[in-house]
Structures are given as C-alpha cells and as structure tokens.
Amino acid sequence: MGIISTLVSSSGAAWATAQPLNLPDTAAPMVLSSVAVPAAIDDPSLFLPTPSERLTLLVLKLSERRLYGYQGDRQVVSYPVAVGRADWETPTGNFTVLQRQQHPTWQHPFTRELVPPGPDNPLGARWIGFWTDGNNAIGFHGTPDEHLIGQAVSHGCVRMRNADVIALYDRIRIGTRVIVQP
C-alpha cells in the first residue's frame, strides 16, 4: 500500500494530502502528467487566516525582548525577538503596520548596497514595517542569525526567527496596531 497526492494550483501553491493507495506490491510507479485543479483552489482567500485567526494588536515589550499578539483583549501568541542596540534603540510608542513584503531586498543604510532575497539577506523571509522617516524604516523581520534572538543587536528593527515572522506575517494586515513599550 502506498500514499500519494499533491495538488498544485495554477499560482504554483501546493497542498499535500495523504490517501492510501490499494496497489499491489509489484505495481509500477505512477506518474501523473496533469491534474485538474478546481478553480476554487486558485482563490488565495481560501487559505488566508479567518478574521478570528488574525491578530488585531501587536505589543512589543523591549525589556522582555518579546512580541505578544492579541485578538481583541486576549493574548494568543508570543515570540522571542532581538531589538535595537544601545545606540540604535527600537522606537517606543503607538504605530500601525505600514508595509508587508515576502522575500524582501535589503538596502544597507550607509553604503546603499542592495542585498537580494536569499540566505544572506539580513531581513530573512519577511518584512513587516511599522515606522519610517521617509528614508529609513523599522519593522519586524526574519534573520539569518537566529542565534542572536533575545539580544539587543539591531539598528532599531525587531529581528525574529524566520518561522516566527512567517507565521506573524500570515496573521496581520496593513493597519494592524503596534505598541512598542520600554
């Protein structure tokens, strides 16, 4: 008996399902050259978090180096983070999510050199911006240096493990409230 099934939508997303196949042990391998995918699977809204799963508020506690996610007044998730170092503190106050980007390109703040998406990109897998002065921006992002999580090491941004920032990215929207506390 074997297990098979992967569905691929025209957008390239794939979903795996496990279903037993009742094949004899001597069965030849099967190759599916094309699979019809219902149009409804191509609707990305089917795979977005429902409003009840979305976070309505993010509270970053710098002294704890921890980010808390809320639905209404109920805390539902928290993540360890790295924050701005002593000479580049993460700003405190009330903000909103201004930007969201998957696989961002990073620009060095001094040399202006561009670093494309990939394993060496300091922004990791996602960017969630909540502050800008028009030239520079601060936000939540992944990092290739996950061993630094829990420390004050950034230039003001909030570094997260890549798996954590991907999970967070999927649960917030532009306009989500962000409170940064000392």
The catalytic site residues sit at: 141, 157
DSSP codes joined into one string, the chain = -EEEEEEE-TTS-EEEEEEEE---TTPPPP--S-----GGGG-GGGGSPPTTTS-SEEEEETTTTEEEEEETTEEEEEEE-BEE-TTSPPPPEEEE--EEEES--EE-TTT--EE-SSTT-TTTTEEEEEEE-SS-EEEEE--S-GGGTTSEEESS-EE--HHHHHHHHTT--TT-EEEEE-
